[in-house]
A and B are shown apart, each in its own frame.
Chain A
């Protein structure tokens, strides 16, 4: 069982459409990060959210951290072919557990945007 569940696993859309990727857990996280990974490369950090309810915008990408800090979403407006890639969420658990200090990743969402 994954600590962080990402959905959907695959997303295939046309250019110009909007989409949302979800990252859910039953655990509370100190912070949550979103990465984008392209074939043949390592993940690249897009954003870090720390405060419950926090919303961050990066051009056409909007990231939200749930009020209870158990979930997050990534919304892309007017998707472009250049947005194609693997999107990963990663959470940092709070101090006190055996997993403290380690980033826990979701399974990822493979996004394909067709021209």
Chain B
């Protein structure tokens, strides 16, 4: 069965622009979580969606937003890009909503979108 896919894989933007990243979860998975990974801060949780509803949110500014569609595909948007937004953005899907699904509710990560802000 196909894994989590993320598009695009690489993206270069300039400061002030906005960007939309896409994530298609594993078939049958209804929960999608987004993470930002940088060398300095490591992997940080952005938000989680389940059945088109945001269930949880990390400590990121309002410039970071997301949504989930009825087919469980998810998008995240970053507006007014800053240099510090350069990172690998990872999406992960699971059958049940995040940790509420229990400790063995495994998350499967996609390969990520590498965003570079110039």
Contact = CB atoms under 8 A, between A and B. Distances in A.
Genuine A/B complex: yes
Interface of A: 2, 30-31, 33, 40-45, 48, 50, 88, 90, 92, 100-108
B110 A101 contact: no
- A contacts with B: majority SS: loop
Interface of B: 4, 35, 42-45, 48, 55-56, 58, 90, 92, 98-100, 103-104, 106-112
B104 A102 contact: no
Contact of A43 (B43, B45, B58, B98): B43
B99 A45 contact: no
Contacts, number: 58
Given A45-B106, A106-B42, A101 B111 contact: no
A103 B92 CA distance: 12
Nearest to A103: B45
Most buried by A among B45, B48, B92, B110: B45
A49 to B, nearest CB: 8
Contact of A102 (B4, B99, B103, B109): B99
B103 A88 contact: no
Give 7 closest A-B pairs by Cβ, nearest first.
Answer: A42-B109, A31-B103, A105-B43, A107-B42, A102-B45, A101-B56, A92-B99
Nearest to B6: A42
Nearest to B97: A101
Contacts of A100: 99
A102 B43 contact: no
Contacts of A50: 103
